[in-house]
């Protein structure tokens, strides 16, 4: 990897966990240009890498009084997450949460935006496994929802990802492709909510995850809400510095949900 590319990755990764990218925690937020705000989250440039495979979760359908509910179409584009990254994740969990594991039993969902305009740039950052705040693993998100409504699964929701300081041990991270383009983070999230295909895909994904893991609407939160969330814990005293997906926008998103686990 060229020295310039390495430097760009290092700068973006640091911005993510320090709340400087995505104006939302990149993975809590990703970013192609100068950093903005994020923590334990993404930012990147480059190609997407391996081939894609369209999949559906194991619990592909659920039933309601109105009939069966179908899981959204999800493109599996998994990051390289072998023994090395799993060991890094387990060590991180031990330092920050007191439990040495790379596995995740999700009880929450945290919403982010990428602070970039392409899915490929976000995926490249997550794949790079660049140290963030001087620690590995690098940042990552479980899912990225592109502006056209395509949902990508980068990491299975039973594997821990670094996307939200203090809640990585509990939460699935979902990134929405969106750049702030010089505006504030609330403006950026409002663009996501106004983009029908992207917003609908995000709602369908969250509802499917809620059904699969019995996650309540109140446990679907924004990156900006993490520090005050129940279950927040960091043994190193780390805190998130981000403003993406604030309470008003999260309330709007929750109002679109029809699942009531």
pLDDT digits (tens, 9 = 90+) for 175-207: 999 999 999 999 999 999 999 999 999 999 999
Alpha carbons 52 and 261: distance in angstroms, whole number = 31
137 falls within a domain? yes
193 falls within a domain? yes
Residue ranges for the chain with pLDDT beneath 50: 1-39, 42-51, 58-67, 261
261 falls within a domain? no
Per-residue DSSP letter, 132 = B
Alpha carbons 198 and 204: distance in angstroms, whole number = 10
**How many helices, marked H, and strands, marked E, lie in the chain?**
6, 9
126 falls within a domain? yes
Q: What is the pLDDT of residue 65?
A: 46
Structure confidence by residue, pLDDT tens digits, 225-246: 999 999 999 999 999 998 999 9
The whole domain housing 176 covers: 3-255
CATH of the domain at 245: 3.40.80.10
250 falls within a domain? yes
Tokens of 103: 């596995």
124 within 8 A of 32, measured Cβ to Cβ: no
Cβ atoms within 10 Å, residue 139: 36
Q: What is the pLDDT of residue 161?
A: 98
Tokens of 261: 């686990």
Q: Is the pTM of this model over 0.95?
A: no
97 falls within a domain? yes
260 falls within a domain? no
98 falls within a domain? yes
- Structural domains counted in the chain: 1
Sorted by sequence, the CB contacts under 8 Å of residue 45 that are 6+ apart come out as 5, 8, 32, 116, 121, 124, 125
């Amino acid at each position: 990897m060229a020295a310039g590319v390495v430097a760009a990755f290092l700068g973006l990764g640091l911005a993510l966990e320090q709340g400087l990218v995505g104006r939302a925690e990149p993975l809590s937020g990703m970013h192609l240009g100068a950093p903005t705000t994020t923590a334990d989250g993404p930012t990147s440039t480059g190609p997407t890498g391996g081939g894609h495979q369209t999949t559906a979760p194991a619990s592909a359908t659920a039933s309601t009084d109105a009939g069966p509910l179908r899981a959204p179409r999800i493109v599996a584009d998994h990051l390289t997450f072998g023994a090395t990254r799993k060991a890094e994740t387990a060590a991180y969990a031990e330092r920050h949460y007191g439990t040495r594991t790379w596995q995740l039993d999700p009880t929450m969902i945290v919403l982010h935006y990428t602070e970039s305009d392409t899915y490929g740039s976000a995926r490249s950052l997550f794949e790079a496994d660049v140290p963030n705040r001087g620690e590995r693993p690098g940042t990552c998100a479980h899912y990225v929802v592109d502006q056209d409504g395509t949902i990508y699964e980068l990491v299975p929701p039973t594997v821990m990802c670094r996307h939200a300081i203090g809640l990585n041990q509990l939460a699935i991270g979902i990134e929405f492709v969106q750049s702030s383009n010089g505006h504030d983070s609330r403006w950026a999230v409002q663009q996501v909510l106004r983009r029908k295909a992207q917003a609908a895909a995000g709602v369908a994904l969250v509802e499917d995850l809620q059904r699969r893991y019995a996650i309540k609407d109140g446990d679907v939160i924004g990156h900006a809400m993490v520090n005050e969330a129940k279950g927040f814990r960091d043994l190193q005293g780390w805190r998130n510095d981000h403003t993406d997906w604030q309470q008003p926008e999260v309330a709007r998103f929750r109002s679109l949900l029809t699942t009531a686990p």
